[in-house]
Structure 1
């Protein structure tokens, strides 16, 4: 199956630049479609009257989304794509909190600045294959700073008022993992990269990436390490 990419960007020069970045990043990209505004992107995605993409037999696997568009905000499309089986990466000029955090809250899987060097953007996009979120260096530093300084007024653990002992969280329904997901989880636990797993299973790496997203959601984890530890403890691998 051909790996399809959709680039939503209103600036033709920037759109061409991003096309070159994508082609350089992945050897198995065979289809890149460009859209200059929200209306064009929605038409390509086959949106229904309710504003959601229609179920497609051959969906896009990677979607790059600009935030400032002639007919609206890329955040609208990110929200509409919440159930769409694609990796959604914001590509923008804005590095401020007012754009960054709403984009992440709307489901962006990565956040790249178009002002970064070509080589930097290629390197960041390639992180998708390794199961890592593509983040421009400035964005990664911004997130680190934000969480290091978040809620400075909160009392320290020694000063906090006593609280009731936490109740154990309900265990996830591990049986919901499909055989394919269990196979992917086994390889993840053994340290294989997404590209290596794809080769071993004879499937596209974007398909592996979709399986990993589903595994994380079902096991209520957010990283490869957490998934591997939980899988080991529960005897899933």
Structure 2
């Protein structure tokens, strides 16, 4: 599958990880671009007030979008990409309804959790070739549960973006861990890492610690940066090996 890809992600470790996933997923990647914020993504896509791309430029066929970016929300980019023709896949830490359903309503063609194993992400991305929506297993289970149970507390999906109606555009190597003298985690970050290692979601950690979910997200980003990892699994393994939790 020939594909030109844009990865919109502010964490350089996560960008590198996702680039590996993409290269493993598709046999013919014609181009790989990265953007660390919305402004850079818009410029490379030629949307949102950015200068149009030169005539004859090869369009992006796949865009991976993080939901939390330094200069805004990935939902903005999803909305601006409506009608663009690219397959738009959310790649995020968040598995809760408050992030999942708005992303689908804004036009996401799939929803992947960066904490999933490398092999799982590759398998899910390859579904694009078969015209299926890439969904992390935990997200697929959440969607099934939502519709089977008729969860009135969750946001309903817009009919235009029901899971069965996705129309995608036609279009692990071991982690490199930080040295023992890595930047030390703060007590708060260590507490967050402990909960992550036990399998708690970001929303649950926020409740347990009595802080906002976006504060937990900031702690997780700091943990990933300090430990030089890109998933909760890698962070938990390293923390255990080095006696951080």
Q: TM-score, normalised by structure 2?
A: 0.59
Q: Does the alignment pair 1:138 with 2:138? A: yes
1:106 offset after TM fit, Å? 0.4
Q: How many residues align?
A: 155
SS across alignment from 2:132: coil
Partners of 1:53 and 1:129 lie apart in 2 by 28
Is contact 2:10–2:35 with CA below 8 Å preserved after alignment?
Answer: yes
- Going from structure 1 to structure 2, the CA distance change for 1:74 and 1:151 (only over 3 Å counts) comes to closer
1:16-70 superposed Cα distances (whole Å, 9 cap, x missing partner): 0000000000001121000000000001111253x79769642100000000000
| Distance in 2 of aligned mates of 1:55 and 1:135 | 34
- CA positional deviation for 1:113: 0.1
Q: Distance in 2 between matches of 1:81 and 1:56?
A: 19
Aligned to 1:127: 127
Q: CA RMSD in A?
A: 2.3
User: Is 1:18 paired with 2:47?
Assistant: no
- Alignment partners' CA distance in 2, 1:130 and 1:83: 21
**Is 1:81–2:81 an aligned residue pair?**
yes
Alignment correspondent of 1:106: 106
Q: 1:38 to 1:117 in 2, by over 3 A?
A: same
* Counterpart Cα distance in 2 of 1:120 and 1:81: 26
Distance 1:117 1:86 in 2: 25
1:93 is the counterpart of 2:93 = yes
Whole-angstrom distance in 2 between the partners of 1:107 and 1:3: 20
8 Å contact kept, 1:53–1:80: no
Distance 1:54 1:115, change over 3 A: same
**Taking structure 1 as the reference length, what is the TM-score of the superposition?**
0.61
Change (3 A) 1:151 1:67: closer
Equivalent residue number for residue 189 of structure 2:
none
1:6 match: 6
Q: Determine if contact 2:43/2:51 at 8 Å carries over to the other structure.
A: no
Please, which runs of 5 or more residues in structure 2 have no aligned partner?
153-167, 172-245
Q: Is the 8 A contact 2:37 2:71 kept in 1?
A: yes
Alpha-carbon offset, residue 81 of structure 1 = 0.2
Q: Distance in 2 between matches of 1:15 and 1:47?
A: 22
Match of 2:64 in 1: 64
- Could you list the per-position Cα deviations for residues 70-118 of structure 1 after superposition, in whole angstroms to 9, with x for gaps in the alignment? 0000000000000101000000000000000000000000000000000
Could you say which residue in structure 2 is the equivalent of 1:197?
Answer: none
Following TM superposition, the consecutive aligned residue runs of length 4 or more in structure 1 with deviations greater than 3 angstroms are 51-57
1:56/1:122 CA distance change after superposition, 3 Å:
farther
Distance in 2 of aligned mates of 1:55 and 1:99: 34
CA distance in 2, matches of 1:62, 1:138: 22
